[in-house]
Amino acid sequence: MTSNRSDITDEDIGMRAFQIRKAKAVERALDRLRQGIRDSWSMFTQRDLSDLGWIVGELWAYEKRADWEDLHFSKLSAEDVVGIIGMARTLREDPHNTVETLERVGDIIRAKSV
């Protein structure tokens, strides 16, 4: 039996690998964030966490890898997270300012990463 995978292209494999790396990066970032804000984590709803995960993933795709590695999510406060979630919701409703919004989110995290 020959394994003919002509229906799966190199591009498909590359896109899937990208999505897997992105999901793992988001999972690590949210885990560090949860550890950093500890008890405050429980105040966030599933929708909040979904929006937060989405924008963290968008930020991962936008940032240079070296810059991403310098972001310390564990240093964020619950108030920072509330602000980031608000930006995520605004961006989802009106994606016209994507770069500006991602820069602002990155700036919030960078300010705490020092």
Q: What are the tens digits of pLDDT across the range 68-106?
A: 999 999 999 999 999 999 999 999 999 989 999 999 999
**What mean pLDDT do residues 59-69 have?**
95
Other CB atoms within a 10 A radius of the CB of residue 109 amount to: 22
Q: What is the pLDDT of residue 113?
A: 84
Would you say 23 and 55 are in contact if contact means Cβ atoms under 8 Å apart? no
Q: What is the pLDDT of residue 114?
A: 81
pLDDT in tens, 3-54: 555 688 999 999 999 999 999 999 999 999 999 999 999 999 999 999 999 9
Please say if the pLDDT value at position 1 is more than 50.
Answer: no
Global confidence as pTM: 0.89
Q: Residue 51, Cβ neighbours under 10 Å: how many?
A: 20
